[in-house]
Amino acid sequence: MAISPARKTAFDILLRVESEGAYVTDLLHEALGPGVRREDAALTTEISLGVLRRRALLDFLLERQLKKPVARLDFPVLTALRMGLYQLRYLDKIPARAAVNESVELVKRARKSSAAPLVNAVLRRTVAETSLPAETLIPANLPPAEQLAILHSHPEWMIERWLDQFGDAQTIQTLEADNLPPRLSAVVHHASSRDKVFSALAKAGLRIEDGALLRDAFSVNGGSPSHTTAFREGLFSIQDEASQAVPLLLGARPGDRVLDLCAAPGGKTAPLVRASGTSGLVVAADRHTHRLRAMDAHFRRIRLAPVSLIELDAARPLPFGALFHRILVDAPCSGTGTLARHPEIRWRLSVENIRALRALQIAILLAAVRQLAAGGRLVYSTCSLEREENENVVEAALARSPGLRLASRETVVSELQPHLVSGVSAESLIDSSGFFRTLPGEQPCDGFFAAVLDK
């Protein structure tokens, strides 16, 4: 029996995510070029991301039939089982026969033919219970965090932290949002080209909606916007709305010297260049040469005015003689606010990772503060939901930096409000302490945190 191109590609991608530590979105972008049929691209994406999002629940349900831990299976066999069960439980339009038979063929293709009868038998036994709500299959005597960890496929340690920080309702809302396809948002680089962009995307068969938060944003679905002429011409870029909002908090003005630390992939740099104008200076820095090259290519695509790109370690003293009026620190972080978009992260993280990141984030922020001019402004941001990476880092920097202060909530609200769509209040995005915050499920975007600091 032939294996469909979509299932074959998804299987290979999932193996590489595990064996190479690769990121699923990178592999999907690499595999799903313009020559791939739209239907195949959609199914490959659905299976690859869906299996990673629902991994813990799939494994729990498989173990009910296997009577042994899934960890004892060869990974190609486990991957075929996960893919088959995901299709049976979540993809109503896929015939059960196709899901089962092609999973068996994937095992044979991976040279694990001896496991083919096992895959066939296990998946056929699961068919009978795929219509049952998953929560009815989880033992009621398990602790609440463990139940949620299985049902919503997140690490138990992460759920325990979120329950403590956000409470039951918000945690469940976030867990549910993490397991749904995220809104694919983009930004128009020049308001005058908005109609042209929308027309070009519509002609390509894509569906467009206005931004949920920002005036310059929009969302798109029904295909890959990066394969369109409008994208290649640099008229728009793909970027989550929360990410788009962060650089707006800096309030960069014409003539400002602006430093963008940890700048790759460059989405937050572009609005800073436009805001500072031809009389300003923008320096974008990153630690990795290949990311700087990618940024340069991105800036060329969108025809951005010259930007000074510098390779440096932002955790060390910065090599600049001049001070900057505006500094953006988009710190490396755990990414727990992006688990819908990057589901593999949840299975790689540990508490120790977060503690190590906190130390790095404090070092980067303190180095940036020393480079900030009097009267200047700094924005510290992450796409993490963790207090250690957010409030605690800011508190540590404030304690060690005389003259640095947290901007008032009113200041942050007034900076952001002009950029929001009608009907959205900046006060809904700024908490009582003056921190910018979005949460998956609460807003239709990734989870971001930002603190505005003045000197």
Confidence (pLDDT) at 361: 98
Confidence (pLDDT) at 34: 87
Confidence (pLDDT) at 305: 86
- Per residue in 48-99, pLDDT (tens digit) is 999 999 999 999 999 999 988 999 999 999 999 999 999 999 999 999 999 9
Does residue 383 have an active-site annotation?
yes
In CATH, which of 3.40.50.970, 3.40.50.150, 3.40.190.10, 2.60.120.560 is domain 242-454?
Answer: 3.40.50.150
Count other C-beta atoms under 10 Å from residue 380's C-beta: 26
Average pLDDT over every residue of 334-356: 97
- Per residue in 280-304, pLDDT (tens digit) is 999 999 999 999 999 999 999 999 9
Distance CA(154)–CA(148), nearest Å, equals: 8
Pairing of strands 405-406, 449-454: antiparallel
Confidence (pLDDT) at 377: 98
Proportion of the chain above pLDDT 90, given as a percent? 96
Distance CA(216)–CA(190), nearest Å, equals: 8
Proportion of the chain above pLDDT 70, given as a percent? 100
What's phi and psi for 350, nearest 5 deg? -145, 165
Cα dihedral value 252, 233, 41, 448, nearest 10: 0
For residue 193, what pLDDT band results from cuts at 50, 70 and 90?
Answer: very high
Confidence (pLDDT) at 224: 87
Give the architecture-level CATH label for domain 185-238. 2-Layer Sandwich (3.30)
Residue 215 near residue 419 (C-beta atoms within 8 A): yes
For residue 356, what pLDDT band results from cuts at 50, 70 and 90?
Answer: very high
| AA identity, residue 391 | E
pLDDT at 1 over 80: no
Kindly name the residue from 262, 333, 383, 445 that is annotated as catalytic: 383
For residue 32, what pLDDT band results from cuts at 50, 70 and 90?
Answer: very high
Identify the CATH homologous superfamily for domain 5-137. Answer: NusB-like (1.10.940.10)
- Closest Cα to residue 450, out of 353, 384, 398? 384
Confidence (pLDDT) at 2: 85
β-pair partners for 378: 327, 453
Distance CA(110)–CA(81), nearest Å, equals: 13
pLDDT at 405 over 90: yes
